[in-house]
C-alpha cells in the first residue's frame, strides 16, 4: 500500500501532536453534492450504489475533490450487515429502509447467522480495496458499522421507528432474547469491521444512532456493552500503524464517562454537549470528534467561521480533536457553506497546535 | 373555590412531606383512551375540541375516572398562543400543525401582538374555570404553555420540523431578530399563564419540547433565558397557596444545573437521565418530575411494576418527586397498562415516605 501523505486524522484520534486540527464531515459523500446525485442517478437505487464498488468509490472521493478534507469514509449503509444476515433489506420510495423478515421470535433470533464478510459482504470489501487504491495515500480511509443496538432497532421493528415499540417491548419483557440477538449482531459487526481493516480501512467508527433513546441503565446493558464487545474483538493494528476506533452515540452526551471506559480511542460528540466540558470529563482517556451543529451550515460563511472558532476554542489547545459536524450534513446545504467550514478549521486551528503540543 | 382534598402534587412539587408519591401522566387525556376518541369524534377537529370548554373539561376528567391520578392537566394545545398572535393555526389531516403566516422578517416580528388572554384566549380560560368547578377539589389542576423557544420553532418554520432550518438559520444569522420574537412570545406566555392561575390553575408547567435540539450555549441564550423571564413574571400564589412551576426540556438532561437555577420549583425529566443522579445534581433547589420511559407501558404489568420500582428506588427516600412518564403516553398503549403503572406508584411508594420525612 502507498505511504500515507496526510495522517492528521490518525494522529489526532490517538492524541498525538498535529499541525492543524483534522476535519471531515459525516455524510460528506451525500445528497448535498450535485455530483453525488448524478452518480446516484446513474447507479439506480441507493443499494445499487452501495453494491457497486466502482461507483461507491466514485462518490467516496467526490467531497475530497471539492474540499481539502483530512479523511475519506467508505460509502455504504449501516444496514448491510442485517441484510447479509438474511432479513431482506429494501427501500420503499420516500420511506426509508424496511426488512422483509423482521426478527421477533426465539426462532427468528436462533436462525440469525454471522455472515462471512468476504462472501455475503464482499461488495463492501471490494469497495474498500477500490477506494484505498484510488486514494493512493492522500488521506486515511475510515471504515464503519452501525452499533448492535442501532441495528437491532431496524431488525426488530422491520424499519425505522418513532416509538421503538417492538424492540423496547422485547427489551423490557424478554431481555434475554434481545441479548442473544445483540450478541450475534456484535459478532457479525466485529467480523465485518475486521474484514474492512484487512481490506484497507485505516480507522473505524461505530455509529450508535439510536442509543440516545434509551434510559441510562438500558444504554449500558443493551448498547454500550455490545460496543465494548466489538472494540475488544477488533484488529487494532494494520500496515504497521494503530487503527483507531471511534464510538458515536447520538444524544449520548450524558454518558461520556461510561463511553470513555469502553476501550475505544475516540468518541464522537453531537452538538448538545460543550466540547470543552466533554474534554474535561473524559480527560486523557479518549480523543473527541465533533461537534458543530449541522444547522450552522444554513447560516452565512461569516457565521460559520465564528461558530467553527467557538468549537475550536472550547476544545482548546493541544491534540485530540477531530473537527466534524455533530451529525450528518443536511441534504439542503450549499456546498460552498461546507467549504467555508473546512477552510475555517484549517485557517483557525494552527494556533491551538503551538510548539508546546 | 372548594377545598383541595388531595394536595400531594402541590406538596411534592414544593418538597414538602407526602404519604405517597403523587403520579400523573403527560398526555393522560389522549388517544390511548377510547372515551377520548369518542369525544374527539363528537367535537370535530382537534382544535374544535380545544375551543369547546365543556368538551375540553370532559376529556380532562376522563383519565381521572379510570385511574386514581393525583392531578388533572388542562386539555389544550401549546400552539394556542401563536394562534392568538394571528398566525393562523390549522391542522392538515395526518400532518401535524401548520401556520398560515410564518414569522420570518423584521416586519413579521414587529407586528406580533401580546394577546389579551381573556379575549383572544378566552376559550382556554373558560375551560380552566369549567374544569376547576367539575373537579370540586378532588385533585389540583395543572395549567401549561409551550416555552418561547418551542413556540418559536413552529412560528418560524410554519409547522413541525426535522432540521429546524429556518429558526436555526435565524438564530445563527439574525440572533437579535429571534431575541425580539422570543421576548414578545415570553410576554404573551407570562400573561397567558397568569390568566390560567386567575381562572383556577393550581400549578403550572412550561413544555420546552424542542430545547434539546440546541447547543448548550444556544439553549441558555434562546430557550432557558426566556423560561426564566416567564418564571420571574408569574403569579406564584393563589387562594392562599403557592402555585408551583415546573420546567420541562425534553432531552435537557445535560443542563439540569442551569435549569435548577431558573427560579422554578420543579424540573421535568425525560427517561435518559437517572433520576437519582439528577437529584444529586440539583440538590434541594428543585423537585423532580418523571421519569419512566413511556415505552415501558408496552411491556407486561409485571415488568411495569418492576420498572416503576426502579424509578422510585433511584429517587430514594423523601419528598420532592412527582412520578410521571418521561414524555407523553403513546397512543397505542393499553389503558390497563397505564392503570398498572399508577397502581404500582401508589403501592410501592409509601416505603419511601417514612416518619423521618
Q: Catalytic residue positions of A?
A: 27, 31, 40, 77, 154
Instruction: Beginning with the edge strand found earlier in the chain, give each strand of the sheet holding B287-292 in spatial order.
Output: B72-73, B141-146, B203-208, B245-249, B266-268, B287-292, B321-325
- Using the Cβ of A272 and the Cβ atoms of chain B, whether some distance falls under 8 Å is answered with yes
Q: What angle in degrees, to the nearest 10, is found between the helix axes of A275-282 and A301-315? A: 20
Does residue A357 surpass a pLDDT of 50?
A: no
Annotated catalytic residue B284:
no
Closest CA to B138 of B281, B293, B9: B9
Say what the pLDDT of residue A355 is: 60
Assign A1 a pLDDT band (cuts: 50, 70, 90).
low
- Using the Cβ of A165 and the Cβ atoms of chain B, whether some distance falls under 8 Å is answered with yes
Contact of A131 with A61, CB cutoff 8 Å: yes
Instruction: Report how far residue B131's alpha carbon sits from residue B57's, in angstroms, rounded to the nearest whole number.
Output: 5
Per the residue annotation, which of B154, B192, B219, B226 is the catalytic one? B154
Q: What percent of chain A has pLDDT over 90?
A: 96
DSSP class of residue A138 equals: S
Contact of A31 with A46, CB cutoff 8 Å: no
- Using the Cβ of B313 and the Cβ atoms of chain A, whether some distance falls under 8 Å is answered with no
Closest CA to B233 of B243, B221, B218, B219: B243
CA R_g for chain A: 19
Encode pLDDT of A70-120 as tens digits: 999 999 999 999 999 999 999 887 778 999 999 999 999 999 999 999 999
Beta-strand (E) ranges in chain B?
A: 72-73, 89-92, 96-99, 141-146, 203-208, 237-238, 241-242, 245-249, 266-268, 287-292, 321-325
Say what the pLDDT of residue B355 is: 60
Contact of A30 with A328, CB cutoff 8 Å: yes
Per-residue cell: A106: 426465539
Encode pLDDT of A222-252 as tens digits: 999 999 999 999 999 999 999 999 999 999 9
CA A302 to chain centre: 28
- Using the Cβ of B242 and the Cβ atoms of chain A, whether some distance falls under 8 Å is answered with no
* Average pLDDT across chain B, whole number: 97
Contact of A164 with B332, CB cutoff 8 Å: no
- Using the Cβ of B168 and the Cβ atoms of chain A, whether some distance falls under 8 Å is answered with yes
Assign B354 a pLDDT band (cuts: 50, 70, 90).
confident
Per-residue cell: A233: 474483538
Q: Looking at chain A, which residue has its C-alpha nearest residue B166?
A: A298
Q: What percent of chain A has pLDDT over 70?
A: 99
Say what the pLDDT of residue B25 is: 98
Instruction: Report how far residue A241's alpha carbon sits from residue A243's, in angstroms, rounded to the nearest whole number.
Output: 6
Instruction: Report how far residue A151's alpha carbon sits from residue B252's, in angstroms, rounded to the nearest whole number.
Output: 26
Greatest Cα pair distance, chain A, in angstroms, is: 60
Say what the pLDDT of residue A92 is: 82
Contacts of B256 in chain A (CB under 8 A): none
ipTM of the shown complex: 0.95
Q: Which residues are within 8 A (CB) of A96 and not within 5 positions of it... i.e. 6 or more apart?
A: A159, A160
Per-residue cell: B79: 400552539
Say what the pLDDT of residue A91 is: 87
Contact A164 B307 (CB under 8 A): no
Instruction: Report how far residue B184's alpha carbon sits from residue B181's, in angstroms, rounded to the nearest whole number.
Output: 5
Task: Give the three-state DSSP class for A218.
Answer: helix
Say what the pLDDT of residue B357 is: 43
CB B83: neighbour CB atoms within 10 A? 21
- Using the Cβ of A300 and the Cβ atoms of chain B, whether some distance falls under 8 Å is answered with yes
DSSP class of residue A20 equals: S
Closest Cα of chain B to A272: distance in Å? Answer: 4
CA B57 to chain centre: 17
Contacts of A271 in chain B (CB under 8 A): 215
Contact A165 B217 (CB under 8 A): no
Does residue A356 surpass a pLDDT of 80?
A: no
Mean pLDDT along residues A265-272? 98
Encode pLDDT of B48-60 as tens digits: 999 999 999 999 9
Q: How many residues does chain B have?
A: 357
Annotated catalytic residue B31:
yes
Task: Give the three-state DSSP class for A320.
Answer: coil
Does residue B356 surpass a pLDDT of 60?
A: no
Q: Looking at chain B, which residue has its C-alpha nearest residue A293?
A: B215
Say what the pLDDT of residue B1 is: 57
CA B333 to chain centre: 20
Q: What percent of chain B has pLDDT over 90?
A: 96
- Using the Cβ of B274 and the Cβ atoms of chain A, whether some distance falls under 8 Å is answered with yes
Contact of A335 with A66, CB cutoff 8 Å: yes
Say what the pLDDT of residue B304 is: 98
Instruction: Report how far residue A89's alpha carbon sits from residue A26's, in angstroms, rounded to the nearest whole number.
Output: 23
Instruction: Report how far residue B357's alpha carbon sits from residue B343's, in angstroms, rounded to the nearest whole number.
Output: 22
Task: Give the three-state DSSP class for B267.
Answer: strand
Query: What is the residue whose three cell numbers read 456484535?
Result: A186
Task: Give the three-state DSSP class for A242.
Answer: strand
Contact of B254 with B216, CB cutoff 8 Å: yes
Mean pLDDT along residues B135-150? 98
Annotated catalytic residue B116:
no
Contacts of B293 in chain A (CB under 8 A): 168, 214-215, 218
Contact A254 B271 (CB under 8 A): no
Contacts of B164 in chain A (CB under 8 A): 295
Encode pLDDT of A287-321 as tens digits: 999 999 999 999 999 999 999 999 999 999 999 99
Mean pLDDT along residues B164-172? 97
- Using the Cβ of A162 and the Cβ atoms of chain B, whether some distance falls under 8 Å is answered with no
Q: Looking at chain A, which residue has its C-alpha nearest residue B301?
A: A173
Contact of B296 with B307, CB cutoff 8 Å: yes
Encode pLDDT of B294-346 as tens digits: 999 999 999 999 999 999 999 999 999 999 999 999 999 999 999 999 999 99
Contact of A31 with A261, CB cutoff 8 Å: no
CA angle A89, A90, A91 (to 5 degrees): 135
Instruction: Report how far residue B156's alpha carbon sits from residue B54's, in angstroms, rounded to the nearest whole number.
Output: 32
Structure pTM? 0.96
Closest CA to A310 of A283, A279, A348, A267: A348
Query: What is the residue whose three cell numbers read 459523500?
Result: A29
Instruction: Report how far residue B74's alpha carbon sits from residue B140's, in angstroms, rounded to the nearest whole number.
Output: 10
- Using the Cβ of A310 and the Cβ atoms of chain B, whether some distance falls under 8 Å is answered with yes
Task: Give the three-state DSSP class for A91.
Answer: strand
Contact B299 A173 (CB under 8 A): yes
Q: What is the DSSP string of A257-298?
A: HHHHTSS-SEEE--TTS-HHHHHHHHTTS-EEEEEE-GGGGG
Does residue A2 surpass a pLDDT of 90?
A: no
Encode pLDDT of B311-322 as tens digits: 999 999 999 999
Q: Looking at chain A, which residue has its C-alpha nearest residue B300?
A: A173
Distances (CA, A) of A182 to A84, A103, A105, A228, A348: 15, 12, 14, 12, 43
Task: Give the three-state DSSP class for B99.
Answer: strand
Does residue A141 surpass a pLDDT of 90?
A: yes
Phi, psi of B259 (to 5 degrees): -65, -40
Contact A271 B165 (CB under 8 A): no
Amino acid at each position: 500500500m502507498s505511504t500515507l501523505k496526510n495522517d492528521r486524522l490518525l494522529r489526532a484520534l490517538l492524541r498525538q501532536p498535529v499541525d492543524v486540527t483534522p476535519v471531515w464531515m459525516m455524510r460528506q459523500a451525500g445528497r448535498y453534492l450535485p455530483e453525488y446525485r448524478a452518480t446516484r442517478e446513474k447507479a439506480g437505487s441507493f443499494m445499487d450504489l452501495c453494491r457497486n464498488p466502482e461507483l461507491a468509490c466514485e462518490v467516496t472521493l467526490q467531497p475530497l475533490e471539492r474540499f481539502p478534507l483530512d479523511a475519506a469514509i467508505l460509502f455504504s449503509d449501516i444496514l448491510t450487515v442485517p441484510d447479509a444476515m438474511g432479513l431482506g433489506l429494501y427501500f420503499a420510495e420516500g420511506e426509508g429502509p424496511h426488512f422483509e423478515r423482521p426478527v421477533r421470535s426465539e426462532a427468528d433470533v436462533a436462525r440469525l447467522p454471522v455472515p462471512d464478510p468476504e462472501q455475503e459482504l464482499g461488495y463492501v470489501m471490494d469497495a474498500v480495496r477500490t477506494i484505498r487504491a484510488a486514494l493512493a495515500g492522500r488521506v486515511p480511509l475510515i471504515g464503519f458499522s452501525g452499533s448492535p443496538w442501532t441495528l437491532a432497532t431496524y431488525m426488530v421493528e422491520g424499519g425505522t421507528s418513532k416509538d421503538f415499540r417492538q424492540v423496547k417491548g422485547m427489551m423490557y419483557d424478554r431481555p434475554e432474547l434481545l441479548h442473544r440477538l445483540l450478541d450475534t449482531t456484535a459478532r457479525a459487526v466485529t467480523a465485518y469491521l475486521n474484514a474492512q481493516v484487512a481490506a484497507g480501512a485505516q480507522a473505524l467508527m461505530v455509529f450508535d444512532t439510536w442509543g440516545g433513546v434509551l434510559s441510562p441503565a438500558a444504554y449500558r446493558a443493551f448498547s454500550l456493552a455490545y460496543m465494548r464487545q466489538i472494540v475488544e474483538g477488533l484488529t487494532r493494528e494494520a500496515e504497521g500503524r494503530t487503527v483507531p476506533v471511534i464510538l458515536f452515540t447520538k444524544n449520548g452526551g450524558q454518558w461520556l464517562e461510561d463511553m470513555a471506559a469502553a476501550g475505544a480511542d475516540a468518541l464522537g460528540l453531537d452538538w448538545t454537549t460543550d466540547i470543552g466540558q466533554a474534554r474535561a470529563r473524559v480527560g486523557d482517556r479518549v480523543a473527541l470528534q465533533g461537534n458543530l451543529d449541522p444547522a450552522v451550515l444554513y447560516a452565512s460563511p461569516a457565521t460559520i467561521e465564528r461558530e467553527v472558532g467557538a468549537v475550536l476554542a472550547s476544545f482548546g489547545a493541544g491534540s485530540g480533536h477531530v473537527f466534524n459536524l455533530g451529525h450528518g450534513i443536511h441534504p439542503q446545504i450549499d456546498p460552498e457553506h461546507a467549504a467555508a467550514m473546512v477552510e475555517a478549521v484549517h485557517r483557525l486551528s494552527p494556533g491551538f497546535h503551538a510548539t508546546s503540543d
